[in-house]
Amino acid sequence: MKKTKNILLVEDNSDDEVLTLRALRKNRIENPVVVVRDGAEALDYLFGRGPYADCSKPELPAVILLDLKLPKIGGLEVLERLRLDQRTRLLPVVVLTSSREEQDIKEAYSLGANSYIRKPVDFNCFLDEVGQLGNYWLNLNEQPCQ
């Protein structure tokens, strides 16, 4: 029996968090979602530090949905740190952000983002995008064993 892997949602905006979780449910994506609200917490979760230090070895997520504009440590720095560590350098990271800055897109890809998606304003469009994103990264994409 194949174990269902988590999705890590790194999102500081509670409205965007609720919309993302709702869109996942509406698209019947039933993977557990771990939500962290800043870049420092994301790194603590992934590397088993801080409040996550007492947990058993953290299971790495199937995909990380990463906002860029985060408190404490920004999304681009989170991405850079993930790619520098052997344990997390191959994790699929989808930048899911409202940023339309061309420089953010270029930098995200140069740091190893697997995908860059702008959050649409319209919920129905967002619903569709999250469905496609979930289907691809959780069902179609083949990942190396970790």
Q: Give the CATH number for residue 135.
A: 3.40.50.2300
| pLDDT band at 58; cut points 50, 70, 90 | low
d(CA 47, CA 66): 16
| pLDDT tens figures, 106-143 | 999 999 999 999 988 888 898 899 888 888 888 888 87
* Residue type at position 114: N
Please indicate, yes or no, if residue 96 is contained in any of the structural domains.
yes
Q: Tokens for 35? A: 């939500």
Please indicate, yes or no, if residue 1 is contained in any of the structural domains.
no
Please indicate, yes or no, if residue 146 is contained in any of the structural domains.
no
Please indicate, yes or no, if residue 67 is contained in any of the structural domains.
yes
Mean pLDDT for the stretch of residues 61-66: 96
User: Can you give the residue range of the structural domain that contains 22?
Assistant: 7-140
Please indicate, yes or no, if residue 72 is contained in any of the structural domains.
yes
Please indicate, yes or no, if residue 118 is contained in any of the structural domains.
yes
Place of tokens 């962290």: 36
Please indicate, yes or no, if residue 63 is contained in any of the structural domains.
yes
SS3 105: helix
pTM: 0.92
State how many domains the chain has: 1
Please indicate, yes or no, if residue 2 is contained in any of the structural domains.
no
